[in-house]
Amino acid sequence: MSSDQDRYEPNEYGGSPNLFRGSACRSCSLFGDCGGSSTAPCGCAWDPESDRYHDCKNCSLICRARKEAPSPYHKVMDDGVSLSEVSIRQDRFSGRGEETPRAPFPLLIPFQTADLPEDTRLPLGWTGVRLSELVTKGSGGGRASRLLASENIREELRVSPETKVLALLNGKDDRLAALWGMDRPELYDEAEQQGIEAITGPTFSISSEREGDPRTPAAQNVIMQKRHHKVLAEIDAQTTATPIPNLYWRGRRDREKWAEWLEENQVQVVYRDFTMTTQKENFRPELAGLIEILGRVDRPMHVLAGVGIGKAKWTIRRLGEKGHTCSIITSGPIYTGVIGGKKVTRENGDIEKTESDAPRPTLAQENLDVAEAYLQNIASELSPYEGGGVANRVHKGQDRSKEGREAREGKRRHQAAKSTPHRSHRPRASEETS
């Protein structure tokens, strides 16, 4: 094994110290998940001439040299689990293997609905709720939010009692740190009590190992991935919600692993949040990477895509051309109306925003209708949607909750058969009387 002196010598990748000697990489406990890296240091990432060099107390980067810090490397190196150790079920979407599968989610899933007036009840099939609305930050880790612990989360989200809730565990790094540091069974218990139907894996950040000053140590990215995998496994084992993997990767090796895993687990629905990928030149390669993964799987998939309306056309078309359906997850229509006071209109086939004197809650609801019609028009040209995408509306007299109850009961039976320790489910009043 390399000595400390060897470990911290400057390298040819910009002057930062490294662990790139083959023997050092292969002796690392993360090598099986990482595969080695020739583009980012796993020793101290800062230049030896920098004041930040080995200033672990004031550095958030996770590297093998991290010692004098609240979370030294030896305490976090075993965080999470490998993807190969995770196995999940998506029984609710098992019909996706049919010759002409129906998209399991609507084309448009809004979030930020809690910003609407208290007396609003949007008749949606699905609504999203973000990590920042589910977990509060604290000095010792996060806690379940007031919203999640409320008597009725659907009332707080201003949606109808029949609306299904999709928990989106994407957020800023401080909120993700709160999620990781909290008593997560508390989160899962509250999600069970609220009858949340699906939960995505969290977006623990994966940063560039090729660019930046300093470049992100490969060790940090690998540990972030393993944390995602662990939370995904917990969702499957400790809740009756459908777990939805959040597809992030460091490179081709990870994309190949994801494809193999998706094939083995018969997963039908995946998630990818693109909200931090704002520039077209960055967004399109990332979408292409996702399509590459899905192309290695022998069945059509459904993608929950966290992307704004402006990138929706490209997203729907590129996925649809490869036989996949998707849902656009965005707060855009609601935010534009409630916060911006603007009206969304369709002009020459595209979405435009114009000033309006209409009441802002009215604008938000009308904007949702316009945005959904816009997405429907795009999808209608693509064969996977069979002439039209699924609308996100609950029609009068339609019981959209029956399917969800049956799927949850099936998952409970499966968990009991495996004798997997998980939190008990305390049914909502709507389930007790149904």
Q: Which long-range contacts (CB under 8 A, 24 or more apart) does 68-76 make?
A: 73/219, 76/223
What digits encode the pLDDT tens for the residues 50-109? 999 989 988 888 888 888 777 788 888 888 999 999 999 898 876 544 554 467 899 999
- The pLDDT of residue 162 is above 80: yes
- 335/377 Cα distance (integer angstroms): 22
Residue 420 tokens read as: 């997997």
Distance from C-alpha of 128 to C-alpha of 326, rounded to nearest angstrom:
15
Give pLDDT tens digits for 341-361. 888 888 877 888 889 988 888
pLDDT band at 415 (very low <50, low <70, confident <90, very high): low
Report the C-alpha gap between 214 and 136 in whole angstroms: 30
Please answer whether residues 107 and 149 qualify as being in contact, where contact means their C-beta atoms are separated by less than 8 angstroms: no
CA geometry: angle at 167 spanning 382 and 79, to 5°? 110
pLDDT tens track for 192-235: 999 999 999 999 988 888 777 888 888 899 999 999 999 999 99
Lowest mean pLDDT among 291-305, 346-360, 371-385: 346-360
32 vs 375, more confident: 375
Tell me how far apart the alpha carbons of residues 85 and 83 are, in angstroms, rounded to a whole number.
5
Burial class (CB in 10 A: 0-12, 13-18, 19+), 417: exposed
Q: Are 37 and 209 in contact (CB under 8 A)?
A: yes
Whether the CB-CB separation of 283 and 105 falls below 8 Å is answered with no
- Residue 425 confidence class, pLDDT cut points 50, 70, 90: very low
- pLDDT (mean) for 397-412: 54
Residues 399-424, mean pLDDT to the nearest whole number: 54
Instruction: Please provide residue 199's backbone torsions phi and psi, each rounded to the nearest 5 degrees.
Output: -135, 130
**Domains present along the chain, CATH in parentheses:** 1-78 (no CATH), 90-402 (3.20.20)
The rounded distance, in Å, linking the Cα atoms of 25 and 38 is: 10
- What pLDDT score does 216 carry? 87
Amino acid in the structure at residue 118: E
Mean pLDDT of 284-299: 95
Residues in the chain: 434
Sorting pLDDT into bands at 50, 70 and 90, what band is 391? confident
pLDDT above 90 as % of the chain: 51
14 band by pLDDT with thresholds 50, 70 and 90: very low
- pTM for the whole structure: 0.85
The residue with tokens 């959040």 is: 246
Q: What is the pLDDT of residue 95?
A: 58
pLDDT band at 319 (very low <50, low <70, confident <90, very high): very high
Whether 334 contacts 311, CB under 8 Å: no
* Rounded Cα–Cα distance for residues 234 and 254 (Å): 21
pLDDT tens digit sequence for 254-280: 999 999 999 999 899 999 999 887 777
What is the residue whose two structure tokens read 């629905």?
269
Q: Tell me: pLDDT of 15 over 60.
A: no
